[in-house]
Amino acid sequence: MSKDFQIAFPCPHVAVAEPVKLASDRMTLWTAIGAVAVGQVTMNGMVCPPEGLLTRASITTEKRAPFRIYADAGDLRVQLAGLTYDFSFKAGQNSLSEILEVLDSAQYLEATATNTGQITLRDMSAEGPGSRILISGGAAAQLGLDKQRGASGRELCPPWTVSTSRQGLSPRPTLLYPPKMTNARWEVTYTMDPNACRRCMASRVENDLRFRASNGEPSLIGDENLLYQTVMKALLTDRGSNPYHVWYGTRIAAMVGKKGSSGAAGAVKSEIDARIKELIAVQNTQAKYQNMSLKERINKVLSLEVLPHKDDPTTLLVKMAVENQSRKAVRISMVFATPGTVGTVMRDGRVINRLGNK
């Protein structure tokens, strides 16, 4: 059984981590096009939730465990916004776990150990500028908290929403007020309007390779899926565009889009019929040198219908059914129009794959 890269996927219409800049109002994140929905905003690599990115007040001891506490300096007072905690440590040498056990008795004060044996105190009662820590007491010097006795939280990114810009253009992520940081690096992940998608150019088809997140290997297809792709690639490729195989493809692109060309449908039908027969001959030769499954090989054309679109005579609709050598019908519908063409694979009335030449 032969394999091939899968090169066509239904487009998700999502721009992932698109680098953007602030507009002149210093609030609008200027994406390439308007956003239908915004999945994520990052600033300098940090994810900014819609409610804004706030930090908590935190302070780390300069000294490392073990800590020597003197009998006349064993008290420690930690003041938060509206809360005060008083601690008392035993005299003598205290291990890291002993100090943490005492500090953990405070409900809204988080005490954690660092990899280097220090202790970080963090205010859990508030976030942003309203978060504060103030240290006092005799044990502050023994813990290494006498030089920096206070800290406060910060607002790194303002809240944001998706709204129409002041210029009256499409909706874009907009900060509620200008950020304090003026040279930040912004990235936005957002969903685009399918009719203006920059990934598929409104064709609904993304022609590109994809790699599996599990092992980094490219997506491969075989059997009937390979037959679908083989037929569509042959019909959607402009004949002569491949310098190494100038015979490959069709001239359908030059036949469609012309007004008053009543014979275009017949010419396209003849072109498709000839190319399918050519493809069958190529597969028969290929099967002599390569193991091919019956499901991926074309046996014959069961039906072929080419009709102009009822609303646009320059657009041609193609409905085709081919039989593979395992005697199963494969139905393919295609739309030929200018400036691009889209092929759709149907199974039991459902679209299961698309391929376009944009």
Residue with tokens 């005579």: 313
Q: Which of 237, 215, 244 is nearest to 336 (CA)?
A: 237
Of 130-144, 187-201, 253-267, 323-337, the least confident:
253-267
Q: What would the pLDDT profile of 193-209 be if each residue is shown by its tens digit?
A: 988 888 887 777 787 78
State the average pLDDT over residues 144-162: 92
Q: What percent of the chain has pLDDT over 70?
A: 91
Q: What pLDDT is attached to residue 29?
A: 93
Confidence check: pLDDT of 42 > 90 = yes
Cis peptide before 339 (omega within 30 of 0): yes
Cβ(38)–Cβ(18) below 8 Å:
no
Q: What is the 3-state secondary structure (H, E, C) of 29-54?
A: ECCCCCCCEEEEEEECCEECCCCCEE
Single-letter residue type at 63 = K
State the average pLDDT over residues 118-123: 95
Is the pTM for the entire model greater than 0.85?
A: no
Q: What percent of the chain has pLDDT over 90?
A: 56
Q: What pLDDT is attached to residue 344?
A: 54
Distance CA(113)–CA(99), nearest Å, equals 10
Q: Could you name the CATH architecture of 222-356?
A: Roll (3.10)
User: DSSP code of 157?
Assistant: E
Q: What pLDDT is attached to residue 357?
A: 52
Q: 114-136: string of b/e by CB count within 10 Å (b at 16+)?
A: eeeebbebbbebbbbeebbbbbb
Q: Which residue has the higher pLDDT, 291 or 357?
A: 291
Distance CA(110)–CA(104), nearest Å, equals 7
Dihedral sign (CA 248, 251, 257, 262): negative
Q: Could you name the CATH architecture of 56-153?
A: Sandwich (2.60)
The full length of the chain comes to: 358
The two three-digit tokens of residue 133, written as one number: 């820590």
pLDDT band for position 314 (cuts 50, 70, 90): confident
Q: What pLDDT is attached to residue 264?
A: 82
State the average pLDDT over residues 329-344: 70
Of 11-25, 243-257, 288-302, 344-358, the least confident:
344-358
Instruction: Give the residue extent of every domain in the chain.
Output: 12-52+158-196, 56-153, 222-356
